[in-house]
Amino acid sequence: MELQKIEEKIILIQGKHIILDSDVAELYGVETKRINEAVKNNPDKFPEDYIIELSMSDKEKVVENFDHLQKLKFSPALPKGFSEKGLYMIATILKSPKATETTIGIIETFAKVRELSRSIAEVSETTDKDVQKSLMQRSGELISDVLSNNYQTVGTETTIELNLSILKVKHTVKKNRKNN
């Protein structure tokens, strides 16, 4: 499962990173109603912070801001959003090779997004230029992993510029398509 495909489905609603039930269904190769049936039939597996139900306002925002969610515009139901924990739990219910592959992809994507967030926060907190360079290099690698999984890294280049007390960092990751 391509990390970029999963990453594109992660949205921020009510201060939480989630994937909507229709996108979860697409990733797992099932109908949305199967995802919602799994939740309904296993309520003890989905505590409050595992799933959020979008408000009408939230639904309107996602339809407006995400082209792939236009189909929700005319749906009478309010979508559910699965947090990372909710996605792990749905994975314990859905059993198939595709479900396993998808779950691994979701776990990898969320882990990389978390690591990237920490790395970026650390860059702004440290004054050590070598540490900043290392963090920027790792951040570039993480972004590259999430956005282009079909390539392998063949080299990197990091440039740090100081310009009137403003730090500018440029990180380039050189990639070639993987040979299968």
Mean pLDDT of all residues in 112-119: 76
C-alpha 101/C-alpha 110 separation (Å) is: 14
- Name the percent of the chain lying above pLDDT 90: 13
Domain assignment present for residue 73? The answer is yes
Q: Residue 128: inside a domain, yes or no? A: no
Within a domain: residue 125?
Answer: no
Is residue 165 in a domain?
Answer: no
Number of domains in the chain: 1
Q: Quick one: pLDDT at residue 89?
A: 87
**What is the C-alpha separation between 23 and 150, in angstroms, rounded?**
22
Per-residue pLDDT averaged across 122-130, rounded? 77
pLDDT at 153 over 70: no
Predicted pLDDT at 167: 46
For residues 98 and 104, what is the distance between their CA atoms, to the nearest angstrom? 10
Is 161 domain-assigned? no
Is the residue at 137 inside a domain? no
Query: Starting at the edge strand that comes first in sequence, how are the strands of the sheet with 51-53 ordered?
Result: 11-13, 16-20, 80-82, 51-53
Does some domain include residue 132?
no
- Bridge partners, 169 (sequence order): 160
Residue 60's domain comprises 3-112
Neighbours of 153 (CB within 10 A): 14
What pLDDT was estimated at residue 164?
Answer: 42
Report yes or no on 101 lying in a domain: yes
